[in-house]
Amino acid sequence: MSQVQGKAVLLRCPPGSSLQDEGRMLGTQFGIPSSGAMDQFSYRWANHLLQNQNNALALEMAQPGLKIQFEQACKISLAGARVVVKVNQETLTNPTIISIAAADILEVGGFQSGSRLYLCIQGGFQVDQFLGSGSDFESVTFPSKRSTNDCLSYFSFPQSLPIGAKPKWGTTWFESAEIKAYPGADWSLLSAEQQHQIQTRTFHLSKFSNRMGIQLEELIPNQLEDLPTNPVFPGTVQLTPGGRIIVLMRDAGVTGGYPRILHLSEEGQSQLAQKKVGDPIRFQLMESIAAG
Amino acid sequence: MKPTYQIISPTLGELVWNAEPTDELLGYQLAYLTHIQNQYSSDLVEVRQGFTRLSLVWKTLLNQQEFARTLRDIQLDPIKLPDTVWEVPVCYDPVFGHDLAPLAESKNLSLAEVVHLHTAPSYRIHFFGFLPGFFYLNGLSSKLLAPRKSTPSIAVPPGSVAIGGSQTGVYPMQSPGGWHIIGRSPLTFFDPKQPIPVWAKPGDQIQFLPISVTQFDNWKEQLPKSVQK
Q: Where along chain B do its domains lie?
A: 4-71, 84-228
Q: Using a CB-CB distance cutoff of 8 angstroms, which residues of chain B are in contact with residue A231?
A: 14, 48-50, 53-55, 129
pLDDT at A1 over 60: no
Determine the Cα–Cα distance for residues A33 and A26; give it in Å rounded to an integer: 10
Asked if the C-beta of B17 comes within 8 angstroms of chain A's C-beta atoms, the answer is: no
Determine the Cα–Cα distance for residues B184 and B171; give it in Å rounded to an integer: 9
Domain covering B4-71 in this structure, CATH number: 3.30.1360.40
**Closest Cβ opposite residue B14 in set A140, A185, A229:** A185
Least confident of A15-19, A168-172, A277-281, B182-186: A168-172
The answer to whether the CB of A183 falls within 8 A of the CB of A193 is no
Q: Using a CB-CB distance cutoff of 8 angstroms, which residues of chain A are in contact with residue B5?
A: 291
Asked if the C-beta of B139 comes within 8 angstroms of chain A's C-beta atoms, the answer is: no
Determine the Cα–Cα distance for residues A12 and A266; give it in Å rounded to an integer: 32
Residues ≥6 apart with Cβ < 8 Å to A24: A32, A33, A34, A35, A36, A130, A131, A132, A133, A135, A137, A140
Rounded to two decimals, the pTM is 0.95
pLDDT bin (cut points 50, 70, 90) of residue A226 is: confident
Counting Cβ atoms within 10 Å, is residue B203 exposed (0-12), middle (13-18) or buried (19+)?
buried
Give the 3-state secondary structure of residue A187: helix
The answer to whether the CB of B209 falls within 8 A of the CB of B161 is no
Asked if the C-beta of B22 comes within 8 angstroms of chain A's C-beta atoms, the answer is: no
Angle at A287 between CA A284 and CA A290, to 5 degrees: 155
Determine the Cα–Cα distance for residues B206 and A18; give it in Å rounded to an integer: 36
Q: Is A289 close to B7, i.e. CB distance below 8 A?
A: yes
Paired with B16 in beta bridges are: B4, B53
Counting Cβ atoms within 10 Å, is residue B99 exposed (0-12), middle (13-18) or buried (19+)?
buried
Q: Where are the domains of chain A?
A: 4-172, 176-285
Average pLDDT over chain A, rounded to an integer: 94
Residue B152 is predicted with a pLDDT of 83
Give the 3-state secondary structure of residue A152: strand
**In three state form, how does the secondary structure of chain B look?**
CCCEEEEEECCEEEEECCCCCCHHHHHHHHHHHHHHHHHHHHHEEEEEECCCEEEEEECCHHHHHHHHHHHCCCCCCCCCCCCEEEEEEEECCCCCCCCHHHHHHHCCCCHHHHHHHHHCCCEEEEEECCCCCCEEEECCCHHHCECCCCCCEEEECCCEEEEEECEEEECCCCEEECCEEEEECCCCCCCCCCCCCCCCCCCCEEEEEEECHHHHHHCCCCCCEEEEC
Residue A288 is predicted with a pLDDT of 87
Asked if the C-beta of A14 comes within 8 angstroms of chain B's C-beta atoms, the answer is: no
Residue A225 is predicted with a pLDDT of 81
- Closest residue in B to A185 (Cα–Cα): B8
List phi, psi (to 5°) of A25. Answer: -65, -25
Q: Which fold has domain B84-228?
A: Cyclophilin (2.40.100)
Q: What mean pLDDT do residues B52-69 have?
A: 97
Residue A264: alpha-carbon gap to chain centroid: 14
Residues ≥6 apart with Cβ < 8 Å to B192: A130, A139, A140, A141, A142, B132
**Closest Cβ opposite residue B132 in set A32, A231, A292:** A32
Q: Is B45 close to A253, i.e. CB distance below 8 A?
A: no
Q: What mean pLDDT do residues A129-133 have?
A: 97
pLDDT bin (cut points 50, 70, 90) of residue A161 is: low
Q: Give the pairing type, strands B205-211 and B84-91.
A: parallel
pLDDT at B180 over 80: yes
Q: Using a CB-CB distance cutoff of 8 angstroms, which residues of chain A are in contact with residue B147?
A: none
Task: Measure CA of the first residue to CA of the last residue in chain A; give whole Å.
Answer: 45
Give the 3-state secondary structure of residue A13: coil
Of the candidates A107, A116, A97, the residue with the CA atom closest to the CA atom of residue A50? A97
Candidates A28, A140, A248, partner chain B, best to mutate (most B CBs within 10 A): A28
Superfamily grouping for domain A176-285:
Cyclophilin-like (2.40.100.10)
Q: Using a CB-CB distance cutoff of 8 angstroms, which residues of chain A are in contact with residue B14?
A: 185, 230-231
Please state whether the peptide bond connecting residue A162 to the residue before it is cis, i.e. omega within 30 degrees of 0: no
**Count of CB atoms situated within 10 Å of the CB of A180:** 17
Asked if the C-beta of A30 comes within 8 angstroms of chain B's C-beta atoms, the answer is: yes
Q: Using a CB-CB distance cutoff of 8 angstroms, which residues of chain A are in contact with residue B129?
A: 31, 229, 231, 253-256
Asked if the C-beta of A226 comes within 8 angstroms of chain B's C-beta atoms, the answer is: yes
Q: Is A291 close to B196, i.e. CB distance below 8 A?
A: no
**Closest Cβ opposite residue A231 in set B6, B55, B134:** B55
Residue A2 is predicted with a pLDDT of 63
Q: Give the pairing type, strands B160-164 and B180-184.
A: antiparallel
- Closest residue in A to B4 (Cα–Cα): A291
The answer to whether the CB of A72 falls within 8 A of the CB of A102 is yes
Residue A86 is predicted with a pLDDT of 98
B132-178, pLDDT tens digit by residue? 999 999 999 999 999 888 788 899 999 999 999 999 999 999 999 99
Angle at B147 between CA A193 and CA A247, to 5 degrees: 45
pLDDT at A141 over 60: yes
Q: In angstroms, what CA-CA distances link A285 with A207, A262, A281, B55?
A: 25, 9, 13, 21
pLDDT bin (cut points 50, 70, 90) of residue A163 is: low
Q: What is the ipTM of this complex?
A: 0.96
Least confident of A167-176, A245-254, B31-40: A167-176
* pLDDT above 70: percentage of residues in chain B: 100
**Closest Cβ opposite residue A228 in set B9, B21, B173:** B21
pLDDT at A3 over 80: no
- Closest residue in B to A254 (Cα–Cα): B129
pLDDT bin (cut points 50, 70, 90) of residue B184 is: very high
Residues ≥6 apart with Cβ < 8 Å to B50: A228, A229, A230, A231, A255, B126, B127, B129
Q: Is B190 close to A139, i.e. CB distance below 8 A?
A: yes
Determine the Cα–Cα distance for residues A8 and A59; give it in Å rounded to an integer: 12
Q: What is the residue type of B29?
A: Q
Residue A177 is predicted with a pLDDT of 98
Candidates A22, A128, A139, partner chain B, best to mutate (most B CBs within 10 A): A139
Q: Using a CB-CB distance cutoff of 8 angstroms, which residues of chain A are in contact with residue B196?
A: 30
Asked if the C-beta of A27 comes within 8 angstroms of chain B's C-beta atoms, the answer is: yes
Q: Using a CB-CB distance cutoff of 8 angstroms, which residues of chain A are in contact with residue B18?
A: none
Asked if the C-beta of A19 comes within 8 angstroms of chain B's C-beta atoms, the answer is: no
Phi-psi region of A291 (alpha: psi -120 to 50; beta: other; left: phi over 0): alpha
- Total number of residues shown for chain B: 229
Q: Give the gap in angstroms from C-alpha A128 to the nearest C-alpha of chain B.
A: 11
Asked if the C-beta of B145 comes within 8 angstroms of chain A's C-beta atoms, the answer is: no
Angle at A239 between CA A233 and CA A244, to 5 degrees: 120
Candidates A25, A29, A179, A250, partner chain B, best to mutate (most B CBs within 10 A): A29
Rg (CA), chain B: 19
Q: Give the gap in angstroms from C-alpha B184 to the nearest C-alpha of chain A.
A: 19
